[in-house]
Amino acid sequence: MARASFASMHLARFEALRVSEDPACEDWPGVLFCQVAADSRAAGVDPASREAFVFVVLGLHADEASAERLIDDRQRAAPWLDEAAEVWGAVLQPFRHKGKANYLNPGEPDKFFDSVVPPPTAESPAVVLTSIGFDTHGLDMARVADVAVGTGAVRASMTAVPGLYCQHSFFFPGVLARDVITVSLWHNVAAVNAFAYHHGPHRRQMDRYRTTNNADRTSFTRFTVLRSQGTWYGVDPFAVR
């Protein structure tokens, strides 16, 4: 199975609740995965509705040129994003990747990045993508509810975490058919490490997962930011300060 080497990401925020539209980029050269996901929990709607105020377009790419094209040709890939109040886009390269997800081959979840680059300096900005997934055949929804309580607790505890710019959780179409993701933007790698290894609520939920196996798989990927454009909360979060 081909694995990705780069990612592209767009975050889009709308002033009114709306339904997502499918992107038109999955058959582009170098694109291994390209889907829109909705932050429906923050919108207070059924994830199956595909409605939200905030969406992410996640692309997984065989090469950097493919990721750059999705940023440059966003209007062709997802023209409906032009209606958003603001859009931020980035080209990302992984420097740490662990775990499995079902984005590249839904029937055989696996790592979705082929290789990683050396970590950047502790002062460098970073984007973190985490996922959690379930085998849907015969799924016990009590397990899903248990995970939702835990992840909700972690998200609530992230208010005012030092170095965190923002965090959102997203459902792809089909709700649990593709693994649920959380995206967080960080001012520096040092803050990511402090949260991952020393933040009490996060550590507790990670320990619970290892003990209970209340999900079938998880993954996390940390990215260095190769290109950042547009705004999120009014500014480019990774503009040179």
Per-residue model confidence as pLDDT tens digits over 158-215:
677 899 999 999 999 999 999 999 999 999 999 999 987 765 555 555 656 566 677 8
pLDDT score of 146:
74
* Cβ atoms 108, 131 nearer than 8 A: no
Mean pLDDT in residue range 30-51? 96
pTM of this structure: 0.91
pLDDT score of 108:
93
pLDDT mean across residues, the chain:
90
Residue 117 phi, psi dihedral angles, 5° rounding? -95, 165
Is it the case that residue 63 has pLDDT exceeding 70? yes
* 14 exposure class (CB count in 10 Å sphere: 0-12, 13-18, 19+): middle
Task: Tell me the pLDDT tens digit for each residue of 136-151.
Answer: 888 888 877 777 765 6
Q: How far apart are CA 135 and CA 140, in angstroms?
A: 10
* Helical axes 141-157 vs 200-212, angle rounded to 10°: 160
Of 191, 185, 198, 199, give the one whose Cα is nearest residue 156: 199
- Structural domains in the chain, CATH included, are 6-227 (3.30.70.100)
* Cβ atoms 72, 207 nearer than 8 A: no
Q: How far apart are CA 121 and CA 146, in angstroms?
A: 36
Is it the case that residue 23 has pLDDT exceeding 90? yes
- Taken as a whole, the chain contains a residue count of 241
pLDDT score of 82:
97
| % the chain with pLDDT above 90 | 76
Task: Tell me the pLDDT tens digit for each residue of 215-236.
Answer: 889 999 999 999 999 999 999 9
pLDDT score of 239:
84
pLDDT score of 20:
96
pLDDT score of 161:
86
Position 90, amino acid = A
Of 152, 153, 163, give the one whose Cα is nearest residue 123: 163
Mean pLDDT in residue range 93-106? 96
Distances (CA, A) of 142 to 10, 138, 149, 217, 229: 32, 12, 11, 16, 41
Give the range among 14-28, 103-117, 147-161 with minimum mean pLDDT: 147-161
Of 226, 223, 227, give the one whose Cα is nearest residue 97: 223
